Structure 1
């Protein structure tokens, strides 16, 4: 497989993307639109992966983009029990809960390359955004997507994915979403069968809190993800009337042991990745320490330097991430 196309390191302050215009009907207009890529259900894509969009809930505009390695689609469906199916990754994009889409080129390419490199069916979820739909709306959409996978009978999933080997994964806010979607279904995993979650993969998870951490102070004016942007994202996405120590933002502040107990009962393992060049670094380390202190099986990979979600933009870093994820899933 060839190297990924060159995608430059982000140079626009994330905060610039949040200059949204409030409309009289309660919606907002997002002035900057990121490049998007259409799904490719045929063989025209440069990446050896097919993709297609499937609507889950038209009333809420929830849909998924399904990615299937092309060689799987090019063969006839195997007879029952004749071949091993691919693991399933349910992926949630980032964007601080307030911007971005599963159709954005950066997330489309990331999921396509991940499906090809790991050898997995990837279901990327388009969930509702804040402030029109504040948390926990996105978590509810994540749960709805899991129930859709269980019961939809969508052919690429039913014929090629082993739903008993499912992992929830997300980048940045999507990692937060993967975690809290998991927490929401942990007490009722039987309702999802035959879908079975094996673990959670949190890529540079987006957490916050009232007390500033050392990395937040050190990287306050970081050009990729400045502190003012994270504060604003929480202001727009958290339920009205709560602060950044709400459990959705700061899972270490409240209900930490309760959440870890749920994870422990279902036996999930977690993979958490991050880097020292991300202002979220110290919170991510604190999160890992909290999990370990509460008996949760967790693997952590924190590298020196780099920047927030660098793997979305640099191919060598993405390849390393996919290798880590593949080993974790195995």
Structure 2
């Protein structure tokens, strides 16, 4: 353990005596660009969701939709960062969503949710569900969503911790007795990119990649310590989807006929957890597409355009095949 980098230094955070943290990272933020006269392929704008919680949505609209009055698939996206770092406005997540909207010719709504440890789980899940209710209410008021979003063709997508949020927000929606309570919004499936899950027991990929340069397991330990409810361990269902009532709720996902794609790579210490999640869902009768590649690292699709385009091709095929089943 002595050879491992200090996890606080790795994450560039400092713990404060009141339970909060100071974030020392200087990752740039990008402002939205809603002006249709700008020569850009994707327009962006922000809209508040809950001002008391400082949550908002950043909407990404392909120019083609504006020019041709197209109705496009709607992707609700949750950024990564171990529940502790980053924003929907963070430069690399902003540009990822620009490329996602452009490559898939879809509207993307990237959600700004509250971060831990100031707001421990399930705060992010609650913000995610609030965002879906907000999107529901915008079907007749927000000009971009009203005119260009196909509300009958919606997908929840996330990267890393954002995929964990998409998964748990999906479970909460699926568990609602009234299947139409989000109408006219209709969720068709989940897109889980290198989902951030774990457990108290180290899996083989974590043991193999103990000294990983991007996300070593002891750094994950700290992220879960900061984000899980006080007093629970890593086998809580928020972290370990095989624990608690998680598997039971998957029955509701199957009943709604949602499809799920799980992607990852074998250079990620978390890959065995991701494979186990895909296996669990398949065992529960959920329609799952698994895509795991050799090499890579955690978060590679955010900054590496080659891997990003491979992911986008997978997601494009998934949405296209799901849309062909619309009923």
The answer for the alignment partner of 2:207 in structure 1 is 217
Q: Indicate which of 7, 12, 16 corresponds to 1:22.
A: 16
The DSSP-based 3-state class of the residue aligned with 2:255 is: helix
Shift of 1:43: 4.8
Shift of 1:256: 3.5
**TM score, norm. by length of structure 2:** 0.91
Q: Indicate which of 88, 107, 122 corresponds to 2:108.
A: 122
Moved more, 274-283 or 251-260: 251-260
1:183 aligned to 2:177?
A: no
Q: Indicate which of 125, 132, 140 corresponds to 1:139.
A: 125
The answer for the alignment partner of 1:316 in structure 2 is 306
The DSSP-based 3-state class of the residue aligned with 1:222 is: coil
1:73 aligned to 2:66?
A: yes
The answer for the alignment partner of 1:100 in structure 2 is 86
- Structure 2, unaligned runs of 5 or more: 1-5, 321-327
C-alpha contact 1:14 1:225 (8 A) present in aligned 2? no
The answer for the alignment partner of 1:259 in structure 2 is 249
Change beyond 3 A, Cα 1:266–1:57: same
Shift of 1:198: 0.2
1:157 aligned to 2:145?
A: yes
Distance, in Å, in 1 between the alignment partners of 2:73 and 2:17 is: 43
Q: Indicate which of 47, 52, 76 corresponds to 1:90.
A: 76
Shift of 1:15: 5.5
The answer for the alignment partner of 2:57 in structure 1 is 64
Distance, in Å, in 1 between the alignment partners of 2:99 and 2:51 is: 28
C-alpha contact 2:73 2:106 (8 A) present in aligned 1? yes
Shift of 1:255: 2.1
- Structure 1, unaligned runs of 5 or more: 1-11, 79-83
The answer for the alignment partner of 1:279 in structure 2 is 269
Distance, in Å, in 2 between the alignment partners of 1:200 and 1:180 is: 10
Distance, in Å, in 2 between the alignment partners of 1:154 and 1:256 is: 34
Shift of 1:47: 4.7
Change beyond 3 A, Cα 1:316–1:45: farther
C-alpha contact 1:14 1:224 (8 A) present in aligned 2? no
Shift of 1:14: 8.4
C-alpha contact 1:62 1:128 (8 A) present in aligned 2? yes
Distance, in Å, in 2 between the alignment partners of 1:46 and 1:314 is: 24
The DSSP-based 3-state class of the residue aligned with 2:241 is: coil
Partner deviation per Cα, 1:215-235 (whole Å, 9 max, x = no partner): 001111100111111110000
Moved more, 34-43 or 127-136: 34-43
Distance, in Å, in 1 between the alignment partners of 2:17 and 2:67 is: 47
Moved more, 31-40 or 13-22: 13-22
**TM score, norm. by length of structure 1:** 0.90
Shift of 1:17: 2.0
Shift of 1:187: 2.6
Distance, in Å, in 2 between the alignment partners of 1:23 and 1:39 is: 35
Distance, in Å, in 1 between the alignment partners of 2:86 and 2:11 is: 10
